[in-house]
């Protein structure tokens, strides 16, 4: 069977990621953003290590001491609390859209400085459209009492996510996707372990609590990031972050249908612009491997 194209794998991952905000909203009220993010990483890392060990991927790891390993891990670790704090304070729709909508801008600038290759005009156009959409969504959020710090948390999450994409792509092209992803998440989970001692965890015993965490850890983390890392093998990092706008598209639909969020008209216009940006970048055609970098590895 032919391998699915990279963009398709990435979009599949973003659909799973798009369920994270709704899963947090459906968890017990005692579940805080910090503990949800930490537990998600812990369950996801354990699942990834089990998959990697079963497939013999851990014995084939090489070059994991590079600084890029820790950049990817720190990006993953930072994304969790920032994202769940953003969703808690802005809602599923706006929090997810601002977080992922800001990531292509950061990734494009990082890739420009790292690869020494300027972004394509298609990327510039799609990212400009995405920025316009995010601006409208933020403006719409003010009308319904969205906190400014929630928007800042979302931008911080998008920045952390962009750093992860840039760093992780090096390892995806080297072939051992499962093993390297397990290592990234293992380090990130250790970094966030202290957060688990800051809140009461009794809510996990509730049915909605353990269902939400298993979904977040196994499907929305382990499975999603494996799909994403596999897609990065043949997809530009700038393209990958823009394709990730599929996450807020999913989050918006779930926020409206399941949570009952109702963004104002201005918010829907912004959302439509973000979808347009996704379509522009997705029609760029089947992606190809990048030429060797002209700068040393991170």
Q: Give per-residue pLDDT as tens, 111-163.
A: 777 667 677 788 788 878 877 877 787 777 666 556 778 888 988 998 998 88
Q: Is residue 105 part of a domain?
A: yes
Higher pLDDT, 154 or 106: 154
> Is residue 1, in this structure, part of any structural domain at all?
no
pTM over 0.85: no
Q: Flag whether 289 is in a domain.
A: no
- The pLDDT score that the predictor gives to residue 175 is 63
Task: Report CA-CA distances (Å) from 165 to 23, 106, 220, 237, 244.
Answer: 24, 10, 17, 6, 11
What's the mean per-residue pLDDT of the chain? Answer: 79
Q: Which two tokens stand for residue 240?
A: 């990958």
- Burial call 38-47: b when 16+ CB within 10 Å, e when fewer: bbbbbbbbbb
Q: Is residue 291, in this structure, part of any structural domain at all?
A: no
79 falls within a domain: yes
Residue 69 lies in a domain: yes
More confident residue, 112 or 50: 50
pLDDT the model gives residue 113: 72
Q: Is the pLDDT of residue 88 over 80?
A: yes
Residue 295 lies in a domain: no
- Which residue range is the domain that position 56 belongs to? 6-282
CA dihedral 51, 84, 143, 107 (to 10 degrees): -60
Closest C-alpha among 86, 83, 98, 91 to residue 245: 98
pLDDT for the residue 281: 63
pLDDT, position 288: 38
Which pLDDT score, from 0 to 100, does residue 284 have? 57
Dihedral, CA atoms, 199, 218, 10, 95, nearest 10 degrees?
-20
Q: Place 287 in a pLDDT band, splitting at 50, 70 and 90.
A: very low
Most confident segment among 10-19, 91-100, 203-212, 285-294: 203-212
Please tell me the predicted confidence (pLDDT) of residue 216. Answer: 94
Percent of the chain scored above 90 by pLDDT? 22
Question: How many domains, in total, are found in the chain?
Answer: 1
The reported pLDDT for the residue numbered 107 is 74
Average pLDDT over residues 47-70: 79
What local confidence, expressed as pLDDT, does residue 7 receive?
83
Q: Is 70 exceeded by the pLDDT of residue 67?
A: yes
Q: What is the pLDDT of residues 25-35, one digit of tens each?
A: 888 988 898 89
The predicted-structure confidence for 197-253, as pLDDT tens digits, reads as follows 878 889 999 999 999 999 999 999 999 988 887 887 778 766 776 677 677 778 877
Query: Is residue 36 scored above 50 in pLDDT?
Result: yes
The answer as to whether 287 is a domain residue is no
Q: What pLDDT sits at residue 283?
A: 62
Residue pLDDT, tens place only, 252-272: 778 778 877 776 777 778 778
Predicted local distance difference test score (pLDDT) of residue 172: 65
CA gap 145, 147 in Å, rounded: 6
pLDDT for the residue numbered 294: 37
């Amino acid at each position: 069977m032919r391998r699915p194209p990279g963009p398709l794998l990435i979009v599949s991952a973003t659909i799973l990621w798009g369920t994270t905000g709704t899963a947090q909203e459906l968890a017990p009220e005692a579940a805080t953003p910090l503990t949800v993010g930490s537990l998600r990483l812990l369950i996801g890392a354990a699942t990834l290590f089990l998959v990697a060990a079963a497939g013999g991927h851990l014995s084939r790891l090489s070059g994991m001491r590079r600084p890029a390993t820790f950049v990817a891990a720190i990006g993953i670790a930072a994304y969790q609390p920032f994202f769940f704090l953003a969703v808690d304070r802005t809602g599923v729709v706006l929090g997810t859209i601002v977080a992922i909508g800001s990531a292509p801008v950061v990734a494009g600038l990082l890739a420009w400085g790292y690869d020494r290759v300027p972004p394509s005009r298609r990327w510039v156009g799609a990212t400009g459209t995405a920025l316009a959409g995010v601006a409208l969504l933020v403006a719409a959020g003010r009308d319904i009492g969205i906190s400014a710090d929630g928007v800042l948390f979302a931008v911080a999450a998008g920045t952390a996510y962009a750093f992860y994409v840039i760093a992780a792509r090096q390892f995806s092209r080297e072939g051992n996707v499962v093993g390297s992803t397990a290592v990234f998440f293992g380090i990130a989970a250790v970094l966030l372990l202290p957060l688990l001692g800051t809140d009461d965890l009794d809510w996990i015993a509730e049915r909605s609590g353990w269902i939400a965490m298993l979904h977040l850890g196994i499907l929305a983390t382990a499975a999603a990031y494996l799909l994403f890392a596999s897609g990065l093998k043949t997809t530009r990092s700038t393209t990958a972050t823009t394709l990730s706008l599929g996450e807020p598209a999913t989050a918006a639909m779930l926020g409206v249908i399941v949570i009952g969020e109702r963004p104002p008209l201005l918010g829907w216009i912004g959302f439509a612009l973000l979808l347009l940006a996704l379509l522009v970048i997705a029609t760029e055609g089947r992606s190809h491997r990048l030429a060797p970098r002209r700068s040393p590895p991170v």
